[in-house]
């Protein structure tokens, strides 16, 4: 069947059937597309078959059209080895769809199953629509595109998460296009069925588990509006303290107890510095194997095993916990210095306080200065890109390292008390509504007793800071320069 589904012809034939075409890799350019629909709700019912190493899912997706123009199709991204079997509307009528494996327009190594579901009735402005879907297939990771995404169906360890597109994500095969749409925030109800000797870990509210014929089904729903769904499956043990939970590998019980202590200490420390978290319902830390990547969302921290087994890596946990004091970015392509750069500084400040590691920040600043210099030597064009444009130019990795250096300058110029007050008041003011990088800059300038104009000009809007780094100017000398002016 032709790749293009002509809905009018199907209607003229007097029937509605699900039309599926699997096409070869496409060189189509999706960069001019726009993600209009907003994701409101998922209901996902997974079944993991370890004999066949296949994943099966039946689910529902509810979307909203906030735009004036009506929408006649829903674009979805699904993992390349997952096959969509059927799509129906909320009345049970089959919907036609096309799916084809394509590479992202701006990320050739990232291949996805791109699906377009045609709708019988368009979604008008402010209308919602629910579709039902069924798919199955395999997971084999994305290490060619993202080294930490090693996700696969394996009885020793399985993780289902957003990076693998293990559930249909509204969007197009373009990193820039999807990023311009911003984070989706949605509710979810998650059910995962696995052999009854395994545990399913999720950071949402635990509803129940039921066992039948050697299989167990775990059910969770989100606690806060989520932007991702993670389900990790292995022989987990569970540690609880108040509202906080840690799912850990049985052999790492000592590390789990230490991590719980560190979690509570770090929350207390950051609360002292920045004020209380808003709408706090506790956190879940889920241990993942080394190499699978640590990351955090609104109620969950996926934390690599090294943090549980090696006390020298506790800074990774401080980093992820600090993100709970971040404000949702409203920028189409966030530069991320205001989130990741701050987290990098805070992980080392926490080391100094919680581990008595005097000089941790200074040592880190020297290390990151060298890393930024190496990045500039390898890619000379980077030194001419201001940090405010790191997101637009897709070089946000530098926002971690150079961002840390920027925040260290602010910290030294403002002093601890003023720095904490400004970072904390930004979170408290913008937590509910979100903010742009410009909002952050304006807030700092308004609240600071020190004139920060030159600092922001050199580090955020301009590239004078790049010259300092390439010329080997030390952090202490940079700070003295700003203090004199």
pLDDT single digits (tens) 38-93? 999 999 999 999 999 999 999 999 999 999 999 999 999 999 999 999 999 999 99
DSSP 252: G
- Do 307 and 294 contact (CB within 8 A), yes or no? yes
DSSP codes, 280-333? ----EEEEE-TTS--EE-SSEEEEETHHHH-GGGHHHHHHHHHGGG---B--SS
Residues of the chain with pLDDT under 50: 1-26
Q: For residues 80 and 83, what is the distance between their CA atoms, to the nearest angstrom?
A: 8
Q: For residues 299 and 280, what is the distance between their CA atoms, to the nearest angstrom?
A: 9
Task: Return the structure tokens found at 256.
Answer: 């789990």
* Exposed/middle/buried for residue 451 (C-beta within 10 Å: 0-12, 13-18, 19+): exposed
Q: For residues 43 and 364, what is the distance between their CA atoms, to the nearest angstrom?
A: 43
Which residues, including other chains, have CB under 8 Å from residue 234's CB and lie 6 or more apart?
156, 157, 158, 198, 199, 249
Q: For residues 247 and 203, what is the distance between their CA atoms, to the nearest angstrom?
A: 10
For residue 94, what are the β-bridge partners? 88
Which of 415, 456, 416 shows the shortest CA–CA distance to 437?
Answer: 456
What's the pLDDT score for residue 16?
29
pTM score of the predicted model: 0.84
Q: For residues 199 and 231, what is the distance between their CA atoms, to the nearest angstrom?
A: 10
Q: Domain 326-484's class?
A: mainly alpha
Which of 301, 273, 298 shows the shortest CA–CA distance to 287?
Answer: 301
The sign of the torsion formed by the CA atoms of 70, 106, 227, 158 equals: positive
Q: What percent of the chain is modeled with pLDDT above 90?
A: 82
- Do 468 and 373 contact (CB within 8 A), yes or no? no
Instruction: Give SS3 for 110.
Output: strand
The domain locations on the chain are: 7-235, 326-484
Task: Return the structure tokens found at 85.
Answer: 């079997």
What's the pLDDT score for residue 27?
52
Q: Domain 7-235's class?
A: mainly beta
Q: Tell me phi and psi for residue 15, to 5 degrees.
A: -150, 160
pLDDT in tens, 258-291: 999 999 999 999 999 999 999 888 889 999 999 9
* Exposed/middle/buried for residue 45 (C-beta within 10 Å: 0-12, 13-18, 19+): middle
- Do 459 and 409 contact (CB within 8 A), yes or no? yes
């Amino acid at each position: 069947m032709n790749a293009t589904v002509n809905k009018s012809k199907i209607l003229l034939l007097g029937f509605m059937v699900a039309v599926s075409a699997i096409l070869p890799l496409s060189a189509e350019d999706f960069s001019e597309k726009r993600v209009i629909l907003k994701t409101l709700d998922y209901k996902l019912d997974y079944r993991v078959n370890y004999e066949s190493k296949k994943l099966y899912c039946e689910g529902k997706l509810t979307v909203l059209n906030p735009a004036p123009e009506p929408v006649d199709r829903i674009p979805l991204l699904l993992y390349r080895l997952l096959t969509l079997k059927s799509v129906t509307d909320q009345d049970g009528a089959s919907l036609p769809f096309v799916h084809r494996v394509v590479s992202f327009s701006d990320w050739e190594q990232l291949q996805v199953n791109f699906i377009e579901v045609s709708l019988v009735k368009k979604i008008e402005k402010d209308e919602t629509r629910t579709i039902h879907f069924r798919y199955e297939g395999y997971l084999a990771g994305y290490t060619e595109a993202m080294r930490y995404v090693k996700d696969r169906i394996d009885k020793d360890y399985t993780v289902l998460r957003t990076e693998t597109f293990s559930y249909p994500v509204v969007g197009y095969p373009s990193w820039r296009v999807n990023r311009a749409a911003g984070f989706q925030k949605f509710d979810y109800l998650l059910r995962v069925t696995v052999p009854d000797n395994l545990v399913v870990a999720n950071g949402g509210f635990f509803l129940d588990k039921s066992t039948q014929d050697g299989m167990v089904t775990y059910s969770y729903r989100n606690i806060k509006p989520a932007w991702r769904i993670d389900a990790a499956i292995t022989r987990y043990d569970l540690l609880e303290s108040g509202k906080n939970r840690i799912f850990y590998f049985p052999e790492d019980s000592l590390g789990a107890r230490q991590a719980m202590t560190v979690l509570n200490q770090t929350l207390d420390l950051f609360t002292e510095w920045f004020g209380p978290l808003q709408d706090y319902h506790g956190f879940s830390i889920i241990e993942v194997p080394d190499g699978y990547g640590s990351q955090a969302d609104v109620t969950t921290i996926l934390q690599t095993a090294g943090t549980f087994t090696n006390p020298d890596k506790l800074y990774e946990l401080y980093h992820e916990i600090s993100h709970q004091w971040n404000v949702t970015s409203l920028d189409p392509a966030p530069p991320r210095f205001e989130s990741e750069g701050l987290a990098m500084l805070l992980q080392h400040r926490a080391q100094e306080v919680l581990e008595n590691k005097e000089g941790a920040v200074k040592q880190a600043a020297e290390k990151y200065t060298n890393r930024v210099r190496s990045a500039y030597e390898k890619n000379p064009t980077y030194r001419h890109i201001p940090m405010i444009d790191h997101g637009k130019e897709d070089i946000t990795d530098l926002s971690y390292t150079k961002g840390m250096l920027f925040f260290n300058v602010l910290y030294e110029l403002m002093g601890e008390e003023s720095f904490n007050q400004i970072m904390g008041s930004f979170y408290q003011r913008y937590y509910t509504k979100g903010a742009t990088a410009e909002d952050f800059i304006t807030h700092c300038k308004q609240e600071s007793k020190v004139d920060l104009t030159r600092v922001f000009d050199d580090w955020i809007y301009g590239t004078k800071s790049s010259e300092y780094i390439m010329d080997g100017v030390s952090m202490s000398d940079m700070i003295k320069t700003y203090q004199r002016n």
